Structure 1
Amino acid sequence: MGSQRILVGVSGGIAAYKVCEVVSAMAQAEAEVRVILTQSAQAFVSELTFSTLARQPAYTDADFWTARPRPLHIELGEWADVCLLAPLTANTLGKLAVGQADNLLTNTILASTCPVLLAPAMNTDMWQQAAVQRSWQQLQLDSRYHAIGPGAGRLACDRVGPGRMAEPSEMLTFLTSLSYTGGQRDLAGKQLLISTGGTREPIDPVRFIGNPATGRMGIALAQAARHRGAQVTLVHGPLEAELLQQLGGICAIAAPTAAAMAQAMLGHQPQADWVIMAAAVADVRPARVAATKLPKSELPSDLPLEPVPDIVAALATARQPQQLIVGFAAQTGEIVPPAKAKLIRKGLDAIVANPVDRPSSGFGSNQTQAVLIDRAGRQRISPPGSKLELAHRLYDFLRDLA
């Protein structure tokens, strides 16, 4: 996120305290961050707090009316690469929907041309009012505006329902995508089917054969695709709760075993334009599964195994004319030759060869690197970076193939 110029607009809601974490994280990632607070926002978090976290001045309406060489709202609007409005209250939402500008924040948004991420937060009854929903739908007709949330949960008023602002981690991920794409929705109209995570092949009800895959790569693929306008179905193995919380707007289907994953992937394949098999599916499974927990003394010293059907090969065999089938090859040592062989052997359109034996590039890491290879043998290096960056680079690569 470094070198990006991000403008954060804070309206008056209790969720403003969460925005402190967002601003702090962006500043620590070496982005330039400036904050505008509405008058009511200052009742929840102070100007001093945000200026300290951002390492930059924070602005209020008092600054709006101060004499300057150039109008402040024009200067800030031209400066920003991306804007975040969080929390977006019903008041600020209504103003923007009709083009009203009566404070520094709304004037600055109207004076800018960059993408704007909207993170609404309000009481459930307020959110569900017909007037608020009309404003929400009206604003999203403008391609500049991108929506995140709101989610459902317990609100500050103790009501349980929709209206909860997106979590800081979700906003940071979306802002990273907008910084990469400039807000372009170049995957709009596409249906993506993605698998992720490891599978667990049971020995008995409490024991299984598994692997250390966390599903982070597939989640990054799903998020990046959604941020670029695609409809996404994510078939996943067991995931940590914190990762499941990052799937807003994504159709998620749990598939803990290879058999369940094969059924889900093949069942949803006909509707997909791009099919990406990022899951770490088991190669073998126990030949027999005990119906009840085996006592330790009865565990077999030699565990009979059988091969697991090859899901990505089956997907390639069943491909539709418009589909791209993409695989992943997690490798140690030399990564390209075995990945190219896998691509040819399984009839794929492209493959992502990534090392799992290099620092900050293995299972569970938020960082990775890869070589992208297509069926014609063309290669593109994705240098070390976040898994979200790799996801975007893969979509750029696939877009050139399609």
Structure 2
Amino acid sequence: MTNPKLNRVLIGVGGGIAAYKICELVSTLFKTGVEVRVILTRSAQEFITPLTIATLSRHPAYTDDDFWKPTHSRPLHIGLGEWADVMVIAPLTANTLAKLAYGMADNLLTNTVLASTCPVLLAPAMNTDMWEQLSVQRNWQQLLLDSRYHGMNTASGLLACDRIGAGRLAEPPEILAHIQSLLHTQGKRDLAGKRVLISAGGTREFLDPVRFIGNPSTGKMGLALAQAALHRGANVTLVHGPANWDVPLGVQAIPVVSAEQMQQAMLEYLPNADVIVMSAAVADVKPRDYSTEKLPKRSLPQALPLEPVPDIVAQLAQHKQPYQILIGFAAQTGNIVKPALEKLQSKKLDAIVANPIDQPDSGFGSDNNQAIFLDRQGNQVAIAPCSKLEMAHYLFDFAIT
């Protein structure tokens, strides 16, 4: 996702073994059309070189040596601070964190942060014991009180020091998604304090342990909705069917398989939600009979008896409170508006996404999407093909703000 008016990202790299992951981030950003500049702290150069960064970003890396060189142009930290639409500090070390928390500026990176006004994305990485120190957590919480700073959770796992625990740097695709969100929102947190409940993916209705009725949904749209809501400050719960992706750090995930399981989970979490987005592709029917053992091929019925599954979105509409916003999806072929309007009215939704699944690079399994948004007030907005994350932000722009 890129915005022609907001496509300049400045990355500050701290000194830690996780710095090598930033090479992938820089390369991917450049490939998506974002203009990238990188500041390497002195300790970061012990892990990756200015030449590596310059090659990947197609621009020389900035170091403290550049900061202290005499120049006849404007001061470097002022120019960089004004240039950036979004700043990223990754890996954020305990040392840089402490400096930022207390407004200190003794190198190019910290001076540039203070000379800028754009959103700053922080992705910490350090040893578990270091991350869990009271002083480090105090600095972290203090820094996040400033609305400019957007913090990413650390992941848990095997660290380079052979410790298993929290402190791993978020993976580059997750950092990239957060950058793309900030480029769209310009750092606004209009969902802060809101609880967003999202369903994602397809459900499976089994005939026996190995055969089921399902659909091609991968849950990528629901994943993008969860990312967008999280990046806008929401508390996110994601009820999802079988999926081949990682749940974003900070999102509460409720994995399910069948429509009945999804129904139970959605109704359980509904009372505490402010916004509900039903993006899952729920099966319409299920086999009437289930065999606990695999049926031999010769025993499969010529005509499979079916019965309907619960209409989850209709049940959500029946139980929702006036202050809650319920958004549905209508995956359609051909004329997508008419059936979406009918569903909007019959299910008593607040808004609906009419989603064409017969268009190239759109719908099930694709990284991109297109749609027409409709609401109960008669508003209609057509969204041209774009990334699913971008569409998720457009949906929240349309239905929430």
2:380 maps to 379
Residue by residue over 1:254-311, the C-alpha shift from the partner in whole angstroms, topping out at 9 and shown as x without a partner, is 1110000000101111111111100000000000111122222222222110011210
Counterparts of 1:144 and 1:324, CA distance in 2:
28
**Which of 28, 37, 41 is the aligned partner of 1:25?**
28
Segments of 4+ moved more than 3 angstroms = none
Q: Give the distance between the partners of 2:192 and 2:399, measured in 1 at CA.
A: 14
Q: When the two structures are aligned, how many residues end up with a matched partner?
A: 397
Structure 1 partner of 2:55: 52
Give the aligned partner of residue 232 of structure 2.
Answer: 228
Aligned to 1:362: 363
| Partners of 1:260 and 1:252 in 2: CA distance | 14
Counterpart residue number, 1:38 = 41
Match of 2:80 among 55, 62, 76: 76
User: 1:346 offset after TM fit, Å?
Assistant: 1.1
- Find the residue that maps to 2:400 and give its secondary structure: helix
Q: Partners of 1:45 and 1:306 in 2: how far apart?
A: 60
TM-score normalised by the chain length of structure 1:
0.97
Any idea what the Cα deviations from partners look like across 1:194-221, whole Å, max 9, x if unmatched?
1000000011112111111000000100
Q: What is the match of residue 10 of structure 1?
A: 13
Instruction: Say if 2:153 is the partner of 1:149.
Output: yes
Tell me whether 1:104 sits opposite 2:88 in the alignment: no
How far apart are residue 156 of structure 1 and its match?
0.8
1:313 corresponds to 2:314: yes
**2:181·2:231 contact (CA, 8 Å) conserved in 1?**
yes
Q: CA deviation at 1:347?
A: 1.0
Q: How does 1:133-172 map to 2 (within 5 A)?
A: 133-172=137-176
Distance across 1 between alignment mates of 2:388 and 2:173: 14
What secondary structure is seen at the aligned counterpart in 1 of 2:122?
Answer: strand
Between the aligned partners of 1:378 and 1:140, the Cα distance in structure 2 is 37
Conservation of the 8 A alpha-carbon contact between 2:326 and 2:351: yes
Q: Secondary structure at the match of 1:217?
A: helix
1:194 aligns with 2:198: yes
> Can you list the C-alpha shifts for 1:320-348, whole angstroms capped at 9, x where unaligned?
12111111001111111111011111111
**Structure 2 letter corresponding to 1:56:** H
* 1:232-266 CA-partner distances (Å, limit 9, x unpaired): 111000011xx12x421011101110000000101
Is the contact between residue 327 and residue 350 of structure 1 (CA under 8 Å) also seen in structure 2? yes
Q: Secondary structure at the match of 1:213?
A: coil
For 2:209 and 2:93, locate their aligned partners in 1 and report how far apart those are by CA, in whole Å.
48
What is the distance in 2 between the residues matched to 1:233 and 1:121? 25
| Secondary structure in structure 2 of the residue aligned to 1:15 | helix
Q: How far off its partner does 1:2 sit?
A: 5.5
Unaligned runs of 5+ in 1: none
Question: 2:53 and 2:240 mapped to 1: Cα distance?
Answer: 38
Indicate if the aligned counterparts of 1:2 and 1:30 stay in contact, CA closer than 8 A. no
Structure 2, unpaired ranges of 5+: none
- Contact 1:373–1:380 (8 Å) recurs in 2: yes
- 3-state SS of paired residue (2:341): helix
Matched, 1:248 2:245: no
Give 3-state SS (helix, strand or coil) of 2:188's partner. Answer: coil
Quote how far apart the aligned CAs of 1:117 are: 0.5
* Partner Cα distance (1:295, 1:167) in 2: 44
Identity %: 63
SS of the residue corresponding to residue 202 of structure 1 reads strand
SS in 1 for 2:371: strand
- 1:78-112 CA distances to partner (integer Å, 9 max, x unpaired)? 11000010000111111111111111011101111
The one-letter amino acid of 1:94's match is A
3-state SS, counterpart of residue 58 of structure 1: coil
